[in-house]
């Protein structure tokens, strides 16, 4: 009987895992994060209903309720001149990855994900605030290029090396590249400024024996081939229907890519129709898993934020396991 690490590895290799890998119930995946000293603070009241906190980079976040994630109100880089003098948190110290080592000891049979704070785009967009950053990206490319270089060299490369040394099975970036209709930057800009960075960091991770997982919200169909070419091994989408299941399957036909998805959290699940949810689950397994791998059955953990009773996702989970077992049995018979 395969353990979780073997199930996930065979999923990535398209080498016929004995069942569908999953991130719910007795999940195959576990998370671990490093714990260096940073500028991060807890949320504090700022008068009335407002709350404020600083993140690890020193950006000021605000929210107007007790539970939301809030948004960046002030980036830590007030001017472009600050790029060259800013001091990043130190991610080079092996002792700051002891929590990852402990997670490896505690869960030896799970697939252990080392969490990254995105790649350069996700970090830089906060340090300058998104609107300012996107203008800088077009009009001050040289300065932004220097900022990206510093993030790659001083933050991400040492994190990847330390996660590998601490026993992580992969690294995962959380980096939202799309709106509901298109990417936040043009495909041309992505290929010019970001694709080479993805290639270098993915190559580094692969050289240390770790695949690269990536989450992105939004419609990013235009850059999926580039992400695959750069070396991303798994893409985690919470809205697979935004791309289309057939489109995702077409990417798998062109190259080995694994998708990790729940049933779409904004379309099918919102129907609250058991038959539709089960039908979509079967479609995803028929087209993306097919008994060979290439798909991880997902679960969106924040039901409250999407206004959904957990039972609708429980129906999807049941169908992922039930129908997945049927497909595996057919394959092996």
* Domain architecture of the chain: domains with CATH: 4-36+81-332 (3.20.20.210), 40-75 (no CATH)
Radius of gyration of the CA atoms of the chain, in A: 20
Burial (CB count within 10 angstroms: exposed 0-12, middle 13-18, buried 19+), residue 49: exposed
Per-residue pLDDT tens for 245-279?
999 999 999 999 999 999 999 999 999 999 999 99
Distance CA(232)–CA(224), nearest Å, equals: 9
Predicted local confidence at residue 47, as pLDDT: 85
Name residue, tokens 């980036």: 75
Q: Which of 318, 330, 253, 215 is nearest to 14 (CA)?
A: 253
How much of the chain exceeds pLDDT 90, in percent?
95
Predicted local confidence at residue 69, as pLDDT: 86
Has residue 67 got a pLDDT over 80?
no
Predicted local confidence at residue 150, as pLDDT: 98
Predicted local confidence at residue 305, as pLDDT: 87
Averaged over 181-204, what is the pLDDT? Answer: 96
Q: How far separated are the first and last CA of the chain, in Å rounded?
A: 17
Averaged over 41-54, what is the pLDDT? Answer: 93
Per-residue pLDDT tens for 83-139?
999 999 999 999 999 999 999 999 999 999 999 999 999 999 999 999 999 999 999
Distance CA(218)–CA(321), nearest Å, equals: 27
User: Residue 21 in contact with residue 7, Cβ under 8 Å?
Assistant: yes
User: Residue 308 in contact with residue 266, Cβ under 8 Å?
Assistant: no
**pTM assigned to the model:** 0.96
Predicted local confidence at residue 103, as pLDDT: 98
In order of 11, 36, 99, 228, 232, the CA distances from 185 in angstroms are 31, 31, 36, 18, 19
Distance CA(319)–CA(275), nearest Å, equals: 11
Q: Residue 296 — φ and ψ, nearest 5°?
A: -115, 125
3-class DSSP assignment, residue 83? helix
Averaged over 57-66, what is the pLDDT? Answer: 93
Averaged over 218-239, what is the pLDDT? Answer: 97
Predicted local confidence at residue 66, as pLDDT: 79
User: Residue 62 in contact with residue 50, Cβ under 8 Å?
Assistant: yes
Distance CA(100)–CA(97), nearest Å, equals: 5
Q: Cα dihedral sign for 177, 183, 185, 191?
A: positive
The b/e string for 288-297 (b: 16+ C-beta within 10 A; e otherwise) is bbbbbbbbbb
Averaged over 214-236, what is the pLDDT? Answer: 97
Q: Give residue 48's pLDDT band: very low, low, confident or very high (50, 70, 90).
A: confident
Q: Give residue 190's pLDDT band: very low, low, confident or very high (50, 70, 90).
A: very high
Per-residue pLDDT tens for 150-185?
999 999 999 999 999 999 999 999 999 999 999 999
3-class DSSP assignment, residue 79? coil
Predicted local confidence at residue 65, as pLDDT: 83
């Amino acid at each position: 009987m395969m353990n979780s690490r073997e199930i996930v590895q065979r999923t990535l290799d398209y080498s016929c895992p004995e069942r569908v890998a999953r991130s719910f119930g007795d999940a195959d995946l576990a998370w671990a994060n490093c714990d260096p000293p940073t500028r991060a603070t807890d949320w504090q009241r700022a008068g009335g209903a407002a709350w404020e906190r600083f993140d690890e980079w020193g950006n000021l976040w605000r929210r107007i309720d007790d539970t939301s994630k809030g948004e960046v109100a002030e980036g830590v880089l007030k001017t472009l001149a600050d790029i060259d003098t800013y001091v990043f948190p130190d991610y080079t110290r092996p002792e700051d990855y002891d929590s990852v080592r402990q997670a490896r000891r505690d869960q030896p049979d799970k697939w252990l994900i080392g969490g990254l704070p995105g790649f350069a785009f996700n970090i830089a967009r906060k340090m300058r605030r998104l609107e300012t950053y996107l203008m800088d990206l077009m009009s001050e490319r040289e300065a932004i290029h220097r900022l990206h270089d510093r993030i790659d060299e001083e933050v991400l490369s040492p994190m990847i090396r330390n996660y590998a040394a601490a026993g992580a099975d992969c690294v995962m970036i959380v980096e939202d590249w799309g709106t509901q209709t298109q990417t936040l930057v043009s495909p041309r800009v992505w290929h010019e400024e970001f694709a080479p960075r993805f290639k270098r960091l993915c190559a580094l991770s692969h050289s240390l024996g770790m695949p690269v997982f990536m989450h992105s919200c939004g419609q990013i169909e235009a850059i999926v081939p580039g992400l695959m070419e750069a070396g991303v091994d798994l893409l985690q989408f919470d809205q697979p229907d935004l791309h289309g299941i057939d489109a995702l399957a077409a990417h798998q036909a062109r190259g080995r890519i694994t998708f990790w998805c729940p049933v779409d959290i904004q379309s099918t699940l919102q129907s609250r129709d058991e038959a539709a949810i089960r039908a979509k689950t079967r479609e995803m397994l028929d087209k993306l898993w097919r008994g060979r791998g290439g798909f991880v059955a997902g679960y969106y953990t924040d039901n409250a934020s999407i206004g959904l009773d957990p039972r609708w996702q429980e129906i999807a989970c049941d169908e992922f396991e039930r129908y997945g077992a049927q497909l595996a049995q057919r394959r092996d018979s």
